[in-house]
Amino acid sequence: MKERIERLKKLTYIPQNEIAWLIEQAELCVKQQEIIEENKRQQEVTVHQFRQAQKDIQHLSGDRKRYKQALEKIITNLNFAITVAQNELEGDVK
């Protein structure tokens, strides 16, 4: 392709079929540029979505930790209440 372009630069008259080839190449370049720009845009969207997902995971991990701690406190309190109730029942039975 480079050789063909260099050869065309040296010509004073460019044949119609060569002009058609140049137009075709220019159109291909435009299409390729559009594809590259769309790919960049999609990449930016994907990066943004990935970063948002990371933030969501961090947030959910924090929520999970708080819920786990709260549940452990509830279980401890329930175990204490069960022990107290068992002791009271044993005291009533004696």
pLDDT tens digit string along 57-73? 999 888 888 999 999 99
Largest CA distance in the chain: 120
Task: Tell me: pLDDT of 94 over 70.
Answer: no
Helix (H, G, I), strand (E, B), or coil: what is residue 1?
Answer: coil
Angle separating helix axes 16-93 and 2-10, nearest 10 degrees: 150
Query: Each residue of 3-34: pLDDT tens digit?
Result: 877 877 787 788 888 888 988 999 999 999 99
Only one residue has tokens 């990066």, namely 47
**C-alpha closest to that of 25 among 56, 3, 41, 1:** 1
Residue 22 CB partners (closer than 8 Å, separation 6+): 8, 14
Alpha carbon distance 1, 24 (integer Å) = 13
Instruction: Give me the count of residues in the chain.
Output: 94
Query: Each residue of 75-91: pLDDT tens digit?
Result: 999 999 999 999 988 88
Kindly report the pTM of this predicted structure: 0.55
